[in-house]
Chain A
Amino acid sequence: MTTETTKKFNIDTVEHAAKTPDTELPWAELGLKQNEFDEIVKVLGRRPTGAELAMYSVMWSEHCSYKSSKNHLRQFGEKVTEEMKKDMLVGIGENAGVTNLGDGWAVTFKIESHNSPSFVEPYQGAATGIGGIVRDIISMGARPVAVMDPLRFGAIDHPDTARVMHGAVAGIGGYGNCLGLPNIGGEMVFDSVYQGNPLVNALAVGVMRHEDIRLANASGKGNKVVLFGARTGGDGIGGASVLASESFDDTKPSKRPAVQVGDPFAEKVLIECCLELFKGSLVEGIQDLGAAGISCATSELASNGDGGMEVELTSVLLRDPTLTPGEILMSESQERMMAVVTPENIAAFEAVMDKWAVEYSWLGEVTDTGRLIITWEGEVIVDVDPRTVAHDGPVYDRPFARPEWQDSVQANSFTGSVEDAGRPSAPTELAAAVTELVASPNMCSKAWITKQYDRYVGGNTAMAFPDDAGVVRVDEETGLGVALATDANGRYTYLEPYQGAQLALAEAYRNVATSGAIPMAVSDCLNFGSPEDPDVMWQLAEAIRGLSDACMELGIPVTGGNVSLYNQTGTTPIHPSPVVAVLGKLDDVARRTPSGWREDGQAIYLLGTTAAELDGSEWSNLRGHLGGLPPKVDLAAERALGEILINASRDGMVDAAHDLSEGGLAAALVESSLRYGVGARIALEELMERDGVDLFTALFSETQARAIVSVPRSEEVRFKDMCTARGFAHLRIGVVDAAGGKLEINGVDELSLDALREAHEATLPKYFG
């Protein structure tokens, strides 16, 4: 029996479903596999209703359920010492992890992907990526204070790259600027492997007092469930299940309708409105609506609480009155939140909504039945155990195996390869090589992007791009603040996934320490191809194993993150790209260390030793080579280097510090000189002698655990003593030269800063206007 309503569709009730077991349901179109559909039938003891099918299909999608990665992700929770848990107030599993900063302050941060939507519709895809991650931060009870955006695009000269780049950057700026959140850094990489599948990741960080931490759970029988913010529309339906959990191919129609549309003004008002709710302690539990919309919010709130929930779906305020119950449950319309409010607080809650002119509707209440029941005009269309929707989705032990091609790739070292022919050695050649490097797509100035972002709003940005880490003040009285950096190297990870993931962590850790902050926590966004490909699954498994081992060794826990799979064009996967964000703490942001030197006559030191490690390097990339083994990982050295940089910052021993990573010493020297337009005189003979490398290798090798620092004369003895005491290699390689306006390196033709700056800054405008 079907019930006729005023709507143009039939309501498939639970009662009806029980009586019509053989009705054909579109589970395959919704992205479910046969075994998954069978499992739903088993869990329910009957066929699902249309609404239930909609919920399960989005919640059991790869994007929401982590079904392919869950078995591996466990390591992040298992490889954790008591020491690492010390400052973790909320761990993995909530909207975002929370770390203790001291003085009653806590910080929450998380990084997420919005890759597929950003390819289909770059502006909205990137914009709503910012919106979604910011709502995750608000739902923890925090005030968002900054965002970052690691971006990976196709080849810089491919005609479609401009479309994606313009759209994504304008979207991030258009949304983030309008929210009043400073954008303090990110990444930009061009590589043809991302041509049909750019990576648009977004990070947000928020701060709160300990007592303000909020969790997503619905507890207390009789408490009311409210949906507030934007109205629910037809945008983003199936975004998580169809878009983010499947590969693109040309046989299917455009997926544009699956991309959400953002309204940053609504989000800004929602932020202020939520903070006012928190301040008045007006909500018991709160959950943002992101992937899987109301399906996710109701099932997660209910399953994390102590009872059940009953919701009337016709109470949802709609933008489009023709939406079916299934569509309402799956819609990913942005700028919505769901909260649980006690009956006593209803009036106060409504007053806050009215003040900010935010729409809301009361949907139902918390029950003690343990069931999530959703009705449509009183008729039950969903009756499920919420855990089966939110947490007990399928888990796959996907087959994985080391790819057959891995050995031959690793055997193909850059040194001595065809591409390595004519390696620069003469002074003119080396000068040209340095200039070519710093003008190259991945190493050039990112100012074209960053000047489209507001880095000032809030008045607490102590450091932003192009410095190694973004630094934001948290407490205006004490100067307490946080530093953040994100890093990934798809080329390294392609060559050796276990090490590649560790190298991403090592670099982010190093960047944070370079700024003077003590690294405390990790969030990761694991961007990979299809898990159904055993080669890709091996890359993912190895990367997670590598990352979790390295976190243990560095003593910083993963507090949250996101897995993005099916990143491929046709059957060609992207380079495995684990983007790692590290958060650090500065007791006083006034002590932060910028990446450029300013004071004439200061000594420039190189910390760490240099080996011949050019495989996977930016130089080899410029020559079109990818093979061999990435630089060695030495986490003990990273830790020692980090401690030196942190102490040097705290005790005022260095005025500038810059980590060595992509592009090696050559890139670091140019960047530190261009930062404030102050040059240097450099001699590397002693380094070449000590480490047994030639000048080219000294400049372009990407050996890890290295940094350059500028040391005031008065601090030189103390600084050297500290490095010696810690047994860490340190070598004076030059001196800051404020008058010359050039970077002089013995054995390299003179490089004028004006010419370097022009080369460095011209690249993006040349391609993107």
Chain B
Amino acid sequence: MTSIPLIGEAVAVAAEPRLAGAKIGVVTFPGTLDDRDAARAVRLAGATAVPLWHADSELGDVDAVIIPGGFSYGDYLRAGAISRFAPLMSKIIDAANSEAKLPVLGICNGFQILTESHLLPGSMIKNDHLKFICRDQTLRVENANTAWTVDYTDGQEIIVPLKNQDGQYIADEKTLDALEAEGRVVFRYVGFNPNGSRRDIAGISNAAGNVVGLMPHPEHAVETGFGPESLDGAPRDTDGLGFFTSVLTKIVGGDK
């Protein structure tokens, strides 16, 4: 067998010693697509990515968990509806709600799984234009105090790729008002609402701020040359890295 990993193979690689101790789990379900990208983002942020399998019954000693994007179980039922019942999910739900408040980030399909799991309110339905859409999307960081956004500033605009079929965030008015009032709208679409989401909401958090879900893909904006372009061509390809350094800031404790 080869010692060099296949392209995109999910492997744990230790990075900077000071941060390498931080272990971030990346969950793979059948049909998950962006798990390798999420693991790469974790490594580029300096931590160790730990592959987690949906059918595992133990979470291990990870310091945070990322539920990446994809089409788990093909999205043939409602997106995320089957994955929510994976053995590992009940562990993640417990850990997120526990005293320790395990940081959990759900990206795209991961966000859908988090709403299905009731870790986050609301739901995603088909884009209002009924097509899959892939574009470089501008977002405004509305709350830079969550576990996954402390390295940004309130009001900061970032560009990250967006790609989904079922990305229209909906919730009842009462829930939306509560989210706004409690500062739990973490990201909003700027300039263009790509899917008809209520109040331009791109991402939200739970009340404690340790669980964050969003439709756009910060893990695709972590490496020069492989991320989005701004309209004027200026490189904006690493705007998403802040998600992954933020959680390290939280875990390692302030001084990175």
Contact = CB atoms under 8 A, between A and B. Distances in A.
Interface of A: 104, 143, 145, 170, 173-174, 177-180, 207-209, 211-212, 263-266, 268-269, 275, 279, 281, 355-357, 450-462, 473-477, 589-590, 596, 598, 675-678
16 contacts: A180-B33, A180-B34, A211-B2, A212-B6, A263-B74, A265-B31, A265-B74, A268-B31, A268-B71, A269-B30, A451-B133, A452-B133, A457-B34, A458-B36, A459-B36, A476-B40
> Across chains A and B, which 4 residue pairs bring their CB atoms closest together, nearest first?
A265-B74, A676-B233, A180-B33, A459-B37
B1 interface: yes
Contacts of A474: 7
Contacts of B4: 104, 209, 475, 477
A475 B134 contact: no
B225 A590 contact: yes
Nearest to B223: A459
B30 A104 contact: no
A207 B40 CA distance: 19
B226 A265 contact: no
Contacts of B36: 458-459
A678 B232 CA distance: 8
A269 to B, nearest CB: 5
A481 to B, nearest CB: 10
Given A356-B30, A455-B134, A459-B223, 12 more contacts: A178-B74, A207-B6, A211-B1, A268-B74, A269-B31, A279-B1, A355-B55, A357-B30, A451-B133, A451-B134, A459-B222, A460-B7
A95 to B, nearest CB: 18
B2 A264 contact: no
Nearest to B219: A459
Nearest to A589: B225
B132 A676 contact: no
Nearest to B70: A180
B122 to A, nearest CB: 24
A143 B6 contact: yes
B256 interface: no
A377 to B, nearest CB: 34
A139 to B, nearest CB: 16
A475 B7 contact: yes
Contacts of B223: 459
A83 B132 CA distance: 45
B30 A170 contact: no
Interface in B183-228: 217, 219-220, 222-223, 225-226
Contacts of B71: 177-178, 264-265, 268
A516 to B, nearest CB: 13
Contacts of A461: 226
Contacts of B161: 456
A572 to B, nearest CB: 33
A677 B30 contact: no
A598 B229 CA distance: 12
Interface in B1-59: 1-2, 4, 6-9, 30-31, 33-34, 36-37, 40, 55
Contacts of A266: 74
A268 B8 CA distance: 15
A469 B34 CA distance: 24
Contacts of B133: 451-452
B8 A143 contact: yes
A290 B89 CA distance: 37
A178 B31 contact: yes
Given A269-B30, A460-B226, A454 B7 contact: no
Given A207-B7, A451-B133, A677 B231 contact: yes
Contacts of B75: 178, 265
B35 to A, nearest CB: 9
A453 B164 CA distance: 9
Contacts of A178: 31, 33, 71, 74-75
Contacts of B37: 456-459
A675 B233 CA distance: 8
A209 B31 contact: no
A584 B73 CA distance: 35
Nearest to B224: A590
Instruction: Please indicate which of the listed interface residues B4, B55, B134, B220 has the most CB atoms of chain A within 10 Å of its own CB.
Output: B134
Given A104-B4, A268-B71, A598-B233, A456 B33 contact: no
B229 A275 contact: no
B131 interface: yes
Contacts of B70: 180
Chain A CB count within 10 A is highest, among B8, B133, B217, for B8
Contacts of B220: 456-457, 459
A104 B2 contact: yes
A573 to B, nearest CB: 34
A629 to B, nearest CB: 39
Nearest to A142: B6
